[in-house]
Amino acid sequence: MAELVYPPVIATARAWFKALDLRFDMEGTEHVPRRGGAVLVSNHISYLDFIFSGLAALPAKRLVRFMAKDSVFRHRVSGPLMRAMKHIPVDRSKGEGAYSHALDSLRSGEIIGVFPEATISRSFTLKDFKSGAARLAQEAGVPLVPMALWGTQRLWTKGRKRDFGRNHFPVTIRVGEPMEAGAEEPVTRLTSRLRERVQEMLEAAQRAYPAVPKDDNDKWWLPAHMGGTAPTPAEAQSM
């Protein structure tokens, strides 16, 4: 079936990013499979992460179907768009339907996007991973593709006002080599390996990030362990 909505939405997003004068530093896009199913797994620090994650799949000419909370699908603007782009709504009180939907999509050759932290990290550090991404990959017999995002929190994140001005923000996107999800490996161990890989990539992205805070008031987007004023993981959890 022809994709009537997804390509125009991508084109609109790219034009918007150009208008914002965002600077992209993207590496590893060759690791996105050009055919067949895969689970794309990323850290989560911004409301816009699904857009940036999806951009990484474009060089492979792939469209990613993201799993997202069902409230996004009930919104009068985003809902019709999300459904038309074949993203997958997740009702956290009963996730079996979303899991089955994602599994069927993987088996039919789609790339499914998952944020295994399940919510935005206010501390901008990596939270614990839910096991769903690993279980999907194992059951569908497809690889896991790890990804790390950095800088996206400066645009729009939890507890902060949106900043859509022309601030020349750098956005770092890293895609790692696919990880095989063998059925014989315990899912907890696979999830742990996956998290470790994303952690390594995130730390590398943070070290290479070309921007620094302008002043003390601009340190909010840096994690506490990097000298920033973001909440510590413990503080973020209590929030």
State pLDDT tens for residues 82-136: 999 999 999 987 779 999 999 999 999 999 999 999 999 999 999 999 999 999 9
In a domain, 68, yes or no: yes
pTM: 0.96
The number of domains in the chain is 1
Asked if residue 204 is part of any domain, the answer here is yes
Tell me whether residue 147 is in a domain: yes
pLDDT digits (tens, 9 = 90+) for 161-197: 999 998 888 999 999 999 999 999 999 999 999 999 9
* Helices and strands, counts by H and E, the chain: 8, 7
Other CB atoms within 10 Å distance of the CB of residue 159 = 11
Range in 19-23, 41-45, 91-95, 133-137 with the lowest mean pLDDT: 91-95
Report the 10 Å Cβ neighbour count for 68.
Answer: 19
The CATH number of the domain holding residue 155 is 3.40.1130.10
Whether 33 is covered by a domain: the verdict is yes
Whether 221 maps to a domain, the answer reads no
**Is residue 166 a part of any domain in this protein?**
yes
Question: Is 222 inside any structural domain?
Answer: no
Mean pLDDT along residues 25-47: 98
> Which of 126, 111, 134 has its CA nearest to residue 63?
111
Residue 199 lies in a domain: yes
Q: Are strands 111-114 and 23-27 parallel, antiparallel or unpaired?
A: unpaired
State which residues form the domain around 10: 6-214
Inter-residue contact 130 to 118 (CB < 8 Å) = yes
